[in-house]
Structure 1
């Protein structure tokens, strides 16, 4: 299983939890860490380059801290550029047979996302999942790290999730 870990963090330089997770992911020989904030500092996503990476992957994972109940703007740009290219080209079947999942870090406690404010975490992530499901991928439930603290991360569980 080859895992493509697509990471986005608007404030990557200041990240603690996501940097620690990314470092743990680099210990796994089956993971390709792909930090789009480092690669696309100009904000211009290269769809062909991204599609080439997707072709090689069995499991595609988005990793990001949840900001304002969604992804960072660059990850949304990735979705707009890459998924649109996939759907309107000869690549339209590229996601079939692949798995897709989300790793997200959250500043709030788990009960903050239990729905009592209107939506659960799974409901907030549903548009992302549906985009991949619509494109033919099999979706795996999210791996969420609540009250994210870099000094106390569930690194083994995270590594297990990246196996798909």
Structure 2
């Protein structure tokens, strides 16, 4: 049975971790997400170990949800490779963005991430040189191009050094957010989803078939 077929509040969680055996925080968040009603979870590395993504199935899952959640560790200031491939292939022109690409209009995108470095390292005087928000524009613009709202991210810094109590508290916030979506106080303060248009002339021509 589809977890959110009859729910206007349904969430689709894309969990992307290249090595779950080494994960503590993301693995717990994945487990908590699976226990929330109205939430469908996709473990990308388990589902697509060969990186051969079922685009039609993923578009169906994404289109059926109101909230798309990107759950992953930050790797080289970005997302794991399989999640990037998912975005490249699933959020296609004419479906997710561009003229007639309205499948995601009015939906929400939520980033839930962990970092290895402490929050203090994301500072002009830290070894990451920038505040963490400086690495968010690709996520924000992906949402904007698809007509989605980008919700305030949930981030746990220095995840591998977090205490058991800190990890449990973080997981509880995550679970509560999923369970209460879209009734978050800050959502009322966000503007409407942007509507953009990318002309077909700005996209590569489809390959010719003999």
Point out where structure 1 has 5 or more consecutive residues left out of the alignment: none
Unmatched 5+ stretches in structure 2: 1-8, 183-210
Structure 2 counterparts to residues 35-114 of structure 1, below 5 A: 35-85=43-93, 86-87=95-96, 92-114=101-123
Contact 2:108 2:148 in 1 (8 A): yes
TM-score where L is the length of structure 1: 0.90
Choose 116-125 or 138-147, whichever is displaced more: 116-125
Normalised by the length of structure 2, the TM-score is 0.72
Q: Give the RMSD, CA atoms, in angstroms.
A: 2.0
Q: Which has the higher relative contact order, 1 or 2, with Cα contacts under 8 A spaced 6 or more apart?
A: 1
Higher Cα Rg, which structure: 2
Corresponding residue of 2:191: none
Tell me the number of residue pairs that the alignment of Structure 1 and Structure 2 aligns.
164
Q: 1:77 to 1:57 in 2, by over 3 A?
A: same
Is the contact between residue 16 and residue 150 of structure 1 (CA under 8 Å) also seen in structure 2? no
Kindly report which structure 2 residues correspond to 1:117-156, keeping only aligned pairs within 5 A, or say none.
117-148=128-159, 149=162, 151=164, 152-153=166-167, 154-156=170-172
Shift of 1:12: 2.1
Contact 1:100–1:138 (CA under 8 A) maintained in structure 2: yes
The offset of 1:160, in angstroms, is 2.8
Given that 2:10 and 2:66 are in contact with CA atoms closer than 8 Å, whether structure 1 keeps it comes out as yes
- 2: CA distance between counterparts of 1:160 and 1:91? 35
**Residues 56 and 115 of structure 1, relative CA distance in 2, 3 Å threshold:** farther
